[in-house]
C-alpha cells in the first residue's frame, strides 16, 4: 500500500508569519501522525522561509513514523541531515532562490556529484531518494548513482490531469516500470491533491510513498486536518 507522507512546510509558513510559535509545528506533526499520516516530510530551504534548521532538530526527536527531509545537498544541508538521522533524505536540485521545486535532477550531468554525495547518507543508515522527472535516460543514469529510490516529480501530471488523465499519467507509469526493473524504489510528489491522487496511485505501479503538502494543508483550512488526512488516505486506499 502506498504510504502518505504529509509535508508540513506550509504549517511553518503560517507560524513564521507572526514570529511566534502558533501554530506549533511539533504538535502539528504529532497530530498528523495521530490522524493517520504514515510519514512527515519537511523541506528546509537555505532561506528558512518555512521549515527552519532547528525545526528539523526538534522534529526528529518526536516523529514516530517515517521522517523524510528534502533539500539540495549543500554542506549545511548534509550536516543537518546527518545530525537528524531521518528515515529518508530526498535530494532535490533546487537553487536557493527558487519559489518551489520546479525540476528533477539531470542525473546524467550530475552523476559524479550524486555518486559522491549519496554514500554519505547511506553509510549513516539513511535511505536516499532522488527527485526525478520521467525521462527514461535520466532514470537509467540515476540508477547508477547508488540511490535507493527516486521521487517522481508530479507537477506535469497535476497540470495535465484535468485535461487528459491517461495522457498525464502515461510517462509516470512507464518511468515507474523502468525504475522498478532497475531495482529502484519509487516515491512521488508535488502538486498532488484530492482530485488527482486516486488516479495516480491506481495507475502508477510499485509506488511506495507519496509526499503531499501544499494542497493537503490548504484543504485542511476548510475540512480540518484530521478529516483531510483521512480523506487523502481513503483516496489511496480506494486506488489499491
Ligand X SMILES: CC(=O)[C@@H](O)[C@H](O)COP(=O)(O)O
> Binding segment for ligand LD2JLWAY among 29-37, 138-146, 168-176, 211-219 (CB under 6 A)?
211-219
Residue 74's alpha-carbon distances to 25, 70, 80, 104, 123, in angstroms, are: 24, 12, 10, 16, 18
**Active-site residue flag, 180:** no
Candidate residues 214, 223, 234, 237; the one interacting with ligand LD2JLWAY per rule CB under 6 A: 214
Closest separation between CB of residue 116 and ligand LD2JLWAY, Å?
Answer: 23
Residue 169's alpha-carbon distances to 91, 101, 163, 184, in angstroms, are: 23, 20, 11, 19
> 127: helix, coil or strand?
strand
What is the total count of residues that contact ligand LD2JLWAY (CB under 6 A)?
13
- Answer yes or no whether residue 211 interacts with ligand LD2JLWAY by CB under 6 A: yes
The annotation status of 55 as a binding-site residue, yes or no, is no
Candidate residues 41, 60, 201, 228; the one interacting with ligand LD2JLWAY per rule CB under 6 A: 41
- Answer yes or no whether residue 213 interacts with ligand LD2JLWAY by CB under 6 A: yes
Q: Residue 101's closest CA among 113, 117, 116, 90?
A: 90
> 140-174: string of b/e by CB count within 10 Å (b at 16+)?
ebbbebebbbbbbbbbbbbebbeeeeeebbebbee
Q: Residue 107 in contact with residue 74, Cβ under 8 Å?
A: no
- Answer yes or no whether residue 196 interacts with ligand LD2JLWAY by CB under 6 A: no
**Active-site residue flag, 206:** no
Give, as ranges, the residues between 85 and 124 that touch ligand LD2JLWAY (CB under 6 A).
none
The annotation status of 234 as a binding-site residue, yes or no, is no
Residue 51's binding partner among ligand X, ligand LD2JLWAY, none (Cβ under 5 to 8 angstroms by kind) is none
- Answer yes or no whether residue 7 interacts with ligand LD2JLWAY by CB under 6 A: yes
Residues near ligand X (CB under 6 A) are: 7, 9, 43, 45, 70, 92, 100-101, 131, 189-190, 213-214
The annotation status of 100 as a binding-site residue, yes or no, is yes
- Of 33, 66, 70, 203, the active-site residue reads 70
Q: Residue 60 in contact with residue 67, Cβ under 8 Å?
A: yes
- Of 133, 151, 190, 235, the active-site residue reads 190
Locus of grid cell 483516496: 235
Q: Residue 70 in contact with residue 38, Cβ under 8 Å?
A: no
Residue 12's alpha-carbon distances to 64, 213, 219, 224, in angstroms, are: 19, 11, 16, 17
Angstrom distance (rounded) from CA 117 to CA 15: 32
- Interface ranges with ligand LD2JLWAY (CB under 6 A): 7, 41, 70, 151, 189-192, 211-215
Residues contributing to the annotated binding site for 3-amino-2-oxopropyl phosphate: 7, 18, 191, 213-214
Amino acid at each position: 500500500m502506498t504510504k502518505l507522507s504529509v509535508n508540513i512546510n506550509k504549517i511553518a509558513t503560517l507560524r513564521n508569519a507572526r514570529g511566534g510559535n502558533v501554530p506549533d509545528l511539533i504538535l502539528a506533526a504529532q497530530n498528523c501522525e495521530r490522524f493517520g499520516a504514515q510519514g512527515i516530510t519537511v523541506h528546509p530551504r537555505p532561506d528558512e522561509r518555512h521549515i527552519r534548521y532547528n525545526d528539523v532538530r526538534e522534529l526528529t526527536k518526536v516523529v514516530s513514523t517515517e521522517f523524510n527531509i528534502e533539500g539540495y545537498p549543500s554542506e549545511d544541508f548534509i550536516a543537518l541531515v546527518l545530525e537528524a538521522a531521518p528515515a529518508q533524505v530526498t535530494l532535490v536540485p533546487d537553487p536557493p532562490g527558487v519559489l518551489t521545486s520546479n525540476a528533477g535532477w539531470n542525473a546524467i550531468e550530475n552523476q559524479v556529484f550524486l555518486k559522491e554525495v549519496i554514500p554519505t547518507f547511506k553509510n549513516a543508515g539513511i535511505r536516499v531518494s532522488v527527485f526525478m522527472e520521467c525521462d527514461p535516460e535520466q532514470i537509467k543514469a540515476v540508477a547508477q548513482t547508488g540511490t535507493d529510490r527516486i521521487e517522481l516529480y508530479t507537477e506535469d501530471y497535476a497540470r495535465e490531469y484535468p485535461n487528459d488523465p491517461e495522457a498525464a499519467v502515461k510517462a509516470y507509469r512507464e518511468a515507474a516500470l523502468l525504475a522498478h526493473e532497475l531495482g529502484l524504489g519509487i516515491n512521488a510528489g508535488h502538486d498532488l491533491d484530492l482530485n488527482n491522487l486516486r488516479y495516480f496511485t491506481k495507475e502508477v505501479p510499485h509506488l511506495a510513498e507519496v509526499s503531499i503538502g501544499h494542497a493537503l494543508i490548504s484543504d485542511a483550512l476548510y475540512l480540518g486536518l484530521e478529516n483531510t488526512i483521512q480523506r487523502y488516505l481513503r483516496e489511496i486506499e480506494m486506488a489499491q
